[in-house]
Structure 1
Amino acid sequence: MQRSAYGIRFKTAEKGVCLNMDSNQYTKEFNSPIGRMTMASDGENLTGVWMEGQKYFGATLGNHGPGASLPVFDLVEEWLELYFQGEQPGLVLPLAPQGNEFRKSIWSILCDIPYGEVITYGEIAKLVAQKMGRAAMSAQAVGGAVGHNPISIIIPCHRVVGSKGSLTGYAGGIERKIKLLQLERVNMEELYIPAKGTAL
């Protein structure tokens, strides 16, 4: 289990083990200032948060049903309410995103990006390469893992930008990414919307 400076408990399974896609999960909807969101849980941990219309919506969901009374959903709703009020939530959330070890390593790095700051795909690639003992890592490979983050906002993939500050590659859409960064009072002067096809 890893704890980030961001106040999130990131639960990791044993190597090579992840939640079975056929196992039961529970969902609950949450209305936010950026649209309806769907939360998912295995009954104890948060396994997903997706925005309506998001790319890869529910990709790790599997079998599911309503779980409105789950304590984890109450905690996540409180976290999101604080966040959308412009506060940095201090609540510790039990997260259990489903994915392979490479993706989980990227998501863990995302949890350590400070509130109100951004990092580039290239910078994350360098961090991963160092951890894996490699000379280099593809920013595109990192981008794929970031884009498949199943727990939007809470695992803050919106804080990842392209080279030279381009606002690219957000599964929830560029407009939402801009709103989230503005909410966190990020300095937007050095960020820009790239032309179609711009590299990471």
Structure 2
Amino acid sequence: MEFAAPLGGPRRFTTTTPTPIGELLLLGDGESITGLYMLPDHLYMPSIADDWVRDPGLFGELERQLDAYFAGELKVFDVPLAPRGTPFQLDVWRELSTVPCGVTTTYGAMALAIGKPTASRAVGAANGRNPISIILPCHRVVGANGSLTGYGGGLPRKMRLLDMERG
């Protein structure tokens, strides 16, 4: 998956949307999605400053796809993404986009896939900083022994997403 370059300047938009796993905070730059966080306490969620514009209309397609995903009708999202991160984080997040719905992978397998076979802990840290949850499916990454490990939206949500995707 290719990511769009984030637009600079004051183009920062937001809205919230209800879902079966709780309210989501959606962020964008007017052209691409830059964030998707689980309210109220997603780890590393940015603060929304006064210069952010609340504009639900900009997120209609994403909301339609989220509704279809939660209804079990959508397996792959098709919205432009522009996450902000280091080159390593972007590599990890691109790799996340290749993990199919209903399948899990491990941090070690991801490290190997991006050509950094000894970087499983760094992959875990990059996963933890994933700014576009669900669409970049960090919930599909588990420990080497198959156990559920940390999740920015909380382990109960991770379990619920995985159960939903498995049918």
Normalising by the residue count of structure 1, what TM-score does the alignment of the two structures yield?
0.76
Alignment correspondent of 1:182 = 163
Q: Does 1:125 align with 2:111?
A: yes
Aligned residues of 1:46 and 1:97 also touching (Cα < 8 A): yes
Distance 1:169 1:19 in 2: 31
Contact residue 128 and residue 137 of structure 1 kept, 8 A: no
Q: Which residue of 2 aligns with 1:167?
A: 148
Relative to its length, the structure with more strand (as a share) is 1
Give the conservation status (yes or no) of the 8 Å contact 2:77–2:135.
no
1:91–1:162 Cα change, 3 Å = closer
Partners of 2:155 and 2:73 lie apart in 1 by: 22
RMSD of aligned alpha carbons: 1.9
What are the residue-to-residue correspondences of 1:53-64 with 2, within 5 Å? 53-58=41-46, 63-64=51-52
Q: What are structure 2's unaligned runs of at least 5 residues?
A: none
Q: How many residues align?
A: 165
For 1:47, give the aligned amino acid: T
Equivalence for 1:152: 133
3-state SS of paired residue (2:14): strand
Question: What is the match of residue 94 of structure 2?
Answer: 108
Q: What is the aligned partner in structure 1 of residue 120 from structure 2?
A: 139
**1:74 alignment partner in structure 2:** 60
Task: Determine if contact 1:107/1:149 at 8 Å carries over to the other structure.
Answer: yes
Asked whether the equivalents of residues 107 and 124 of structure 2 are also in contact (C-alpha less than 8 Å), the reply is yes
1:31 lines up with 2:9 in the alignment = no
With normalisation by structure 2, the TM-score equals 0.91
Quote the sequence identity (%): 41
Contact preservation (8 Å) 2:130, 2:136: yes
- Please tell me whether the aligned partners of residues 106 and 146 of structure 1 are also in contact (alpha carbons under 8 angstroms): yes
Q: 1:82 to 1:29 in 2, by over 3 A?
A: same
Query: Which structure 1 residue ranges, 5 or more long, are not aligned?
Result: 3-9, 187-200
